[in-house]
């Protein structure tokens, strides 16, 4: 290739699939957005958009926001009654629902879950429920006419609160999930339902959902999920970065300064999860003789200004900040956002933020956004749907 021949393509690439992905992720909604994000000329973008429309992969409508003149045309994935199923499994609750290909939530439900009942019972019931939602919630009548879920359902995205080997859909050494180690989620689902199933960990789902909802135009972001456990998802170059096996972003067993060093479920001591997770706060308070049942109880104590609980929350925030400082110095993201139930804990957030500013290079923090996840309780199912939409857009 001669220098000067190559189109000036942006960080996110300018191939037709790249353009499709920019629309599917919510980063681009018009030809102008695509030209800006890809670095391609407007005429090249138009040629590629026309080709994608004629292949039936994109649609263009005239319902963009008008600023007085002709209404601009808006690009979207063709929905046409197609739905995506989504399951966001947590330690005690699952959220499930259906979304259309534009990422809009069509229906959503919450269910209590007993993770110790094992994967067959828990996932079996959730899969059946999502499949049953699809025909009842399809926005237009199903094409085939026999009313089966497969008419409307194009795939199901599932989030698991533990490490997932992404290529195989297998769970590997999860904490607090007895009976789930080595379970092949994808094979189990394939026997029960005839649509593609994509499985990932819950922090990656949160990253996908929040990135799309809050900052689809930013290329580098880190999203921390701090609830019963702790994890993180990484967006690099506008896309989720999973690494070689799918464990990228898993900060739960990084070692932090702690005295004494609590024993972690992995067998090591001083892991972030053993110091700063919701489960760790519950355990530490009980050890101090404070009768607390669960994370809800801990949050209530902190709101009431209990000094033991508040001190532990500050320590947790410092520990998360220590690890995030390494991540920020190494990766230089534009935004670090924290979600999960501990994101509502003000003392934790304040000490995390202070530690980040203290321990990071000025160049890394001068324009860094440090914020709460804003996408709300549906962020996980939005991310689960995005897993499937990404697969539809780019089957490879």
Q: Cβ closer to Zn ion: 21 or 253?
A: 253
The Cα–Cα gap between 129 and 371 comes to 34
Closest distance of CB 239 from Zn ion, Å: 28
Closest distance of CB 320 from Zn ion, Å: 15
Closest distance of CB 268 from Zn ion, Å: 5
- The number of angstroms, rounded, from the C-alpha of 88 to the middle of its chain's C-alpha atoms is 10
Instruction: Give the three-state DSSP class for 156.
Output: strand
- The number of angstroms, rounded, from the C-alpha of 181 to the middle of its chain's C-alpha atoms is 22
Closest distance of CB 176 from Zn ion, Å: 12
Q: Tell me the backbone φ, ψ of residue 17, rounded to 5 degrees.
A: -65, -35
The Cα–Cα gap between 164 and 162 comes to 6
Q: Cβ closer to Zn ion: 47 or 266?
A: 266
The CA-based angle 153-80-169, given to 5 degrees, is 30
Closest distance of CB 154 from Zn ion, Å: 38
Sign of CA dihedral 58, 382, 396, 220: positive
Contact 204, 240 (CB under 8 A): yes
Count of residues engaged in binding Zn ion, rule: CB under 5 A: 5
The Cα–Cα gap between 258 and 374 comes to 31
Q: Which of residues 223-282 bind Zn ion (CB under 5 A)?
A: 253, 264, 266, 268, 271
Closest distance of CB 229 from Zn ion, Å: 10
Closest to 125 (Cα-Cα) out of 138, 135, 111, 139: 111
Q: Cβ closer to Zn ion: 258 or 356?
A: 258
User: Does the footprint of Zn ion cover residue 208 (CB under 5 A)?
Assistant: no
Instruction: Give the three-state DSSP class for 7.
Output: coil
Closest distance of CB 322 from Zn ion, Å: 15
Burial of 35 (0-12, 13-18, 19+ CB in 10 A): buried
Q: Cβ closer to Zn ion: 264 or 387?
A: 264
User: Does the footprint of Zn ion cover residue 361 (CB under 5 A)?
Assistant: no
The CA-based angle 189-227-271, given to 5 degrees, is 100
Strands 83-89 and 153-160: parallel
Q: Cβ closer to Zn ion: 59 or 319?
A: 319
Asked if the bond preceding 76 is cis, omega within 30° of 0, the reply is no
Q: Cβ closer to Zn ion: 88 or 273?
A: 273
Q: Cβ closer to Zn ion: 268 or 296?
A: 268
Closest distance of CB 264 from Zn ion, Å: 3
User: Does the footprint of Zn ion cover residue 106 (CB under 5 A)?
Assistant: no
Q: Cβ closer to Zn ion: 44 or 265?
A: 265
Which residues of the shown chain bind Zn ion in the complex (CB under 5 A)? 253, 264, 266, 268, 271
């Amino acid at each position: 290739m001669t220098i000067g021949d190559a189109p000036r393509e942006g960080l996110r690439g300018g191939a037709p699939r790249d353009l499709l992905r920019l629309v599917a992720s919510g980063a681009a909604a018009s030809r102008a957005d695509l030209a800006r994000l890809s670095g391609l000329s407007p005429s090249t973008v138009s040629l590629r958009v026309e080709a994608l429309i004629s292949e039936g992969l994109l649609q263009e409508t005239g319902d963009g926001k008008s600023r007085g003149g002709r209404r601009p045309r808006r690009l979207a994935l063709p929905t046409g009654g197609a739905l995506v199923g989504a399951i966001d499994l947590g330690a005690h609750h699952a959220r499930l629902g259906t979304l259309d290909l534009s990422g809009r939530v069509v229906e959503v439900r919450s269910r209590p879950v007993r993770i110790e009942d094992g994967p067959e019972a828990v996932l079996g019931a959730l899969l059946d429920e999502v499949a049953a939602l699809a025909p009842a919630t399809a926005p237009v009548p199903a094409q085939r006419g026999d009313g089966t879920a497969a008419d409307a359902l194009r795939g199901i995205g599932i989030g698991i609160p533990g490490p997932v080997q992404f290529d195989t859909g297998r769970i590997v050494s999860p904490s607090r999930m007895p009976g789930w180690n080595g379970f092949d989620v994808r094979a189990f689902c394939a026997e029960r339902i005839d649509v593609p199933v994509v499985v990932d960990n819950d922090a990656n789902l949160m990253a996908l959902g929040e990135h799309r909802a809050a900052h689809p135009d930013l290329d580098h972001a880190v999203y921390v999920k701090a609830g019963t456990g702790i994890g993180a998802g990484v967006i690099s170059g506008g896309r989720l970065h999973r690494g070689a096996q799918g464990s990228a972003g898993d900060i739960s067993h990084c070692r932090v300064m702690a005295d004494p060093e609590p024993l972690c479920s992995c067998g090591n001591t001083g892991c972030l999860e053993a110091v700063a997770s919701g489960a760790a706060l519950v355990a530490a308070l009980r050890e101090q003789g404070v009768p607390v049942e669960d994370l809800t109880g801990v949050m209530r104590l902190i709101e009431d200004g209990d000094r033991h609980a508040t001190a532990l929350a500050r320590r947790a925030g410092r520990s998360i900040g220590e690890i995030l400082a390494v991540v920020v110095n190494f990766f230089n993201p534009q935004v670090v956002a924290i979600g999960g139930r501990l994101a509502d804990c003000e003392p934790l957030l304040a000490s995390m933020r202070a530690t980040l500013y203290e321990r990071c290079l000025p160049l890394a923090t001068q324009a860094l956004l440090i914020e709460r996840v804003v996408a709300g309780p549906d962020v996980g199912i939005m991310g689960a749907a995005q897993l499937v939409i990404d697969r539809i857009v780019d089957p490879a």
